[in-house]
Structure 1
Amino acid sequence: MRLETFADSPRPKVLVILHQEHSSPGRVGQELIRRGFALDIRKPRFGDTLPETMAGHAGAVIFGGPMSANDPDGYVHREIDWIKVPLREGVPFLGICLGAQMMVKQLGGTVAGHRDELVEIGYYPLIPTEQGKALMKWPEKAYQWHREGFDRPAGCELLATGPTYPNQAIRYGQNAYGIQFHPELTHSMLVRWTTRGAPRMALPGAQQRRDHFAGRYVYDQAVRRWLDAFLDLWIGRADGSHVHGIATAAE
């Protein structure tokens, strides 16, 4: 599926923030387009600006990257500071991995590595809380690629946990979500990440490359169903329809 940008269409726009030159919004971008949205892709790391208001956007997603939310780089601080815009205006916001950690920093929380220096690189358990179960059905495992996690700032609701990093999915208010895992992963992204990031599979707790592909075979359909239910809950469709995920939880 071609990723249609906002310049190509008068469709309602979702702001997409990426962190590497050749990064892709992957399946999340594909699914947003299928719901009728256009993608306004920006990369502040390479000089793109961010809007002062979300009046021209239906929502915003900040994706992951190899950098840390604790890095001193100016663009990292600008993104963290900017997150107050969608939070203040109540516009749907989603932070994925680094994006979630940035949201936590904006809310006054902390981001840090595991006390035993364990990482999650591969497929790891995802355990919904009672609040999470009430929203939708969750996959048994989800794809991870991180060596830091986040705590839960005041006002955030825990939706899913895990045995190594206990905060896997949080919600702030009704429209802002932070998730530690990667539902955007496509097969081509998996090939690219496990090729370019092969040295990280030697880190404590990481899975080997073959296990990444085996895990995708087993768990990807459940992750796809979760993403579909989540996007219906989070942002709905560009035509204004908004299907709540409670029905999905009963399937």
Structure 2
Amino acid sequence: MRVRVLQHVPFEGIGSMAAWLSGRGAEVQYTRFFESPELPDPRGIGLVIAMGGPMSVKDEAQHPWLRPEKAFIREVLRRGIAVVGVCLGAQLIASALGAKVYPNAEKEIGWFPVAAVETAADVFRFPREATVFHWHGETFDLPPGAVRLAGSAGCRNQAFQIGKNGIGLQFHLETTPESADRIIRHCRGDIVSGPYIQTEAAMRGTPASAYHAANRLMGDLLSYVTRPAG
């Protein structure tokens, strides 16, 4: 399987997804927009992973690669290629499909629960509740045709599915202690007082079991979006 990772900043990588992909012999290639904005021909790609970053999907003047990135995401979804968007990546999927992205009522930073949304649709099923890592200040409306998969007290639209194998996650299931440390160090200024903002000490004190549970759920999600057609 050929995988293309869309990486927006050096300190937000694919975390636990690296081991999952390696275990399946995936050929992983990157577009690192902070180095070069070149995007590949989508033919032959089996999975696109759009990662997070501190910029907004609306920052096209500061980051002109956002416009072609959204066009690329729109095209791979049209082709039925599996897509997973994480945080900014989920917002990019929403924006690429015409949905509004805007500031959330509250910032969410740290480990907080999300709850599954009951639906009759044939979609990926989240646990009834899962504690996951957040770091975002914006949210999105659901794009046309999307199914809401999860929400939280602080943010209604936490996860959605578009088509058979496109999923946007407002939160980070791929987080490892190392990746959490990187985002804390680079974005420490975001840690202010708020109802859904943990202290740095609380984030750093999160037990290993929380990471393991989130990473297992990410593995399940990757298995779902890359499952054989049929």
* TM-score, normalised by the number of residues in structure 2: 0.89
Shift of 1:193: 1.6
Identify if the C-alpha distance between structure 1 residues 216 and 178 changes in structure 2 by more than 3 Å, giving closer, same or farther.
farther
Query: Paired residue for 2:182?
Result: 192
Deviations 1:69-101 (A, max 9, x none): 111221112211211121110010111100110
> What percentage of residue pairs aligned between the two structures are identical?
27
Where does the alignment leave 5 or more consecutive residues of structure 2 unmatched? none
Query: Paired residue for 1:75?
Result: 65
Query: Distance between the aligned counterparts of 1:178 and 1:133, measured in 2?
Result: 16
Q: AA paired with 1:51?
A: P
Query: Distance between the aligned counterparts of 2:173 and 2:30, measured in 1?
Result: 18
Query: Paired residue for 2:140?
Result: 150
Higher strand share: 2
Task: Indicate which of 207, 215, 220 corresponds to 1:224.
Answer: 215
Query: Paired residue for 1:89?
Result: 79
Deviations 1:188-222 (A, max 9, x none): 11122222222211153311012113334452222
Query: Distance between the aligned counterparts of 2:19 and 2:146, measured in 1?
Result: 28
Q: AA paired with 2:217?
A: W
Task: Indicate which of 25, 31, 35 corresponds to 1:46.
Answer: 35
Query: Distance between the aligned counterparts of 2:47 and 2:154, measured in 1?
Result: 31
> Which shifted more, 162-171 or 137-146?
137-146
The alignment partner of 1:185 has SS state of: coil
Shift of 1:133: 10
Cα RMSD (Å):
2.2
The alignment partner of 1:26 has SS state of: coil
Task: Indicate which of 16, 39, 42 corresponds to 2:5.
Answer: 16
Shift of 1:181: 0.6
The alignment partner of 1:126 has SS state of: strand
* TM-score, normalised by the number of residues in structure 1: 0.82
Deviations 1:90-145 (A, max 9, x none): 01011110011011001110111123xx2101011110012399744535211000
Q: AA paired with 2:21?
A: L
Q: AA paired with 1:57?
A: I
Shift of 1:46: 2.5
Task: Indicate which of 48, 55, 65 corresponds to 2:43.
Answer: 55
In the alignment, structure 1 residue 65 sits paired with structure 2 residue 56: no
Where does the alignment leave 5 or more consecutive residues of structure 1 unmatched? 1-11, 245-251
In the alignment, structure 1 residue 234 sits paired with structure 2 residue 222: no
Query: Distance between the aligned counterparts of 2:156 and 2:187, measured in 1?
Result: 24
Identify if the C-alpha distance between structure 1 residues 133 and 195 changes in structure 2 by more than 3 Å, giving closer, same or farther.
farther
Query: Paired residue for 1:210?
Result: 201
Query: Paired residue for 1:29?
Result: 18
